Structure 1
Amino acid sequence: MKLGAQVDSGGTDRTRDTVARIILERGPQNAATLADRLGLSAAAIRRHLDALVADGLLVESEPRPAAQRGRGRPARVYAITDAGRAAFPHAYDDLATTALRYLRETGGEQAVVAFADHRAESLARLLTGDVDPAADPLTRTEALAESLTAHGYAATTEQASAGVQVCQHHCPVAHVAAEFPELCEAETRAFERVLGTYVQRLATIAHGDGVCTTHVPVPPVDRTNTTSGRA
């Protein structure tokens, strides 16, 4: 669920957005407090809380000892998760873009290229450990996609003419790369280093495409030897 919308008690998603935002801004809250603040029934607020927990945006936990007063079992509280915080709009992209603009103004285009290469080199080091250089090209490419997914790029592979395509369905720096394509170019070179072969970037999310697509040439597998020896 995308968070950060304006408050609208008439929409389920917007109400859940409001619940999550209150917890983000005020810290862990119990169901009774939230229900009273939003004018909802206990049953209604629990449905929203359960949905947010199921989505991984909130976590239910015991209250801190200092918050326990009176007799009886203290009410459990709901806290925002890292995924919940990330779902809200933030200024990280603006900060990164501003920093790169300053770098370009003070150090020139070469400074931006150097930064992009540095970032790509760091990514390559992360990916290299998951890709066996002795494996065949197709296996290396599939391992690259799996490693990219593990690092937040949601990557898959698809068979294509004369090779295979690595499809990245998420790009953490898409908004920044829209102004600084050097990031995409350096990332492509990093893939080449990890795979040990030439690759071609066909599309990028930063340029308005739905998916970042990289073509990896993979020679056709000759299965003659594997089948000729069978009885």
Structure 2
Amino acid sequence: MTSTADRLLYQLKSRGPQNAATLAGACAITPMGAHKQLQALAAQGLVAFHDEAQGVGRPRRIWTLTDAGHGRFPDRHGDLAVQLLRHAAERLGPKALDTLIAAREAEAEALYAGRLAGLANLGQRVQALAALRSEEGYMARALPADDGGWLLVEDHCPICAAATQCQGFCRSELAIFQRCLGPGASVERTEHLLAGARRCAYRIRPRSP
């Protein structure tokens, strides 16, 4: 069974910085219980807090994950992938990385296209894509947008170490999304983990006929 501490970490990872009362509600515990758990997590170096002024009254305490807290979530590649990518570039040249990225792109695109086949509705396609990405460890979710489009949010990047070493992986994923969602959709990255955001997010809109 998932512990309360794990649920709190998950909420901070998937929903971003929050106060203890909000976290308590999400985890079905009392605010006092959430505060005690957060203090214990802070002692372990997994969470930190800052106080936000909110007009008259006491400031609101906002909790967030530390780098160590983010590290509690899986990275499928990590240091080994970084070393392999660096050695490939040094010994085989930059074209070797392009070949590796192209092979991964083709494999992912075939998988995604197969799972999205037969889904004509853009919303269904975006939701299916989010489910696929979650299976791969991206903690993805599809949210309807006010303009009739969708927001694909990825709260975790399991290949962050590899992507940091070679940002061609990020460009590749954006291209895959565009092709798999089809010519009737436009895909724009609006938040990027490697650019300093806490997550990656993509705005997906239907194209005008």
* TM interval, short-chain normalised: 0.5 to 0.7
- The residue number in structure 2 matching 1:189 is 175
**1:91–1:114: structure 2 CA closer, same or farther, 3 Å change rule?**
closer
Equivalent runs, 1:122-201 vs 2, <5 Å: 122-160=107-145, 161=147, 163-197=149-183, 198-201=186-189
Q: 1:167, CA displacement in angstroms?
A: 0.6
Larger radius of gyration: 1
Q: Secondary structure at the match of 2:115?
A: coil
Could you tell me whether the CA contact under 8 Å between 1:200 and 1:215 is conserved in 2?
yes
TM-score (norm 2): 0.57
Q: Distance in 2 between matches of 1:133 and 1:196?
A: 12
Distance in 1, matches of 2:176 and 2:182, equals 10
Instruction: Calculate the aligned-residue CA RMSD, in Å.
Output: 3.2
SS of residue in 1 equivalent to 2:165: coil
Contact between 1:163 and 1:219, CA under 8 Å: does it hold in 2? no
Q: Detail structure 1 runs of 4+ shifted over 6 Å in the superposition.
A: 88-91
Uncovered stretches (5+) of structure 2, i.e. residues with no partner: 1-5, 10-38, 42-70
- 2:206 is the counterpart of 1:206: no
1:204 is matched by which residue type in structure 2?
Answer: H
Name the % identity: 26
Number of residue equivalences: 143
Query: Counterpart of 1:125 in 2: which secondary structure?
Result: helix
In the aligned structure 1, how far is the partner of 2:75 from the partner of 2:133?
Answer: 23
Mapping for residues 65-144 of structure 1, pairs under 5 Å: 92-144=77-129
For residues 151 and 167 of structure 1, what CA distance do their matches in structure 2 show?
14
Matched position secondary structure for 1:178: helix
Residues 192 and 199 in structure 1, CA contact (< 8 A), matched pair in contact too: yes
How has the CA–CA distance of structure 1 residues 106 and 210 changed in structure 2, closer, same or farther, with 3 Å as cutoff?
same
Q: Which secondary structure state, in structure 2, belongs to the residue aligned with residue 199 of structure 1?
A: strand
Distance 1:119 1:170, change over 3 A: same
Between the two structures, name the one with larger relative contact order (CA 8 Å, sep ≥ 6): 2
* Structure 1: tracts of 5 or more residues without a match: 3-10, 14-85, 221-231
Contact kept? 1:178, 1:207, Cα under 8 Å:
no
Within 2, Cα distance between the matches of 1:142 and 1:196? 14
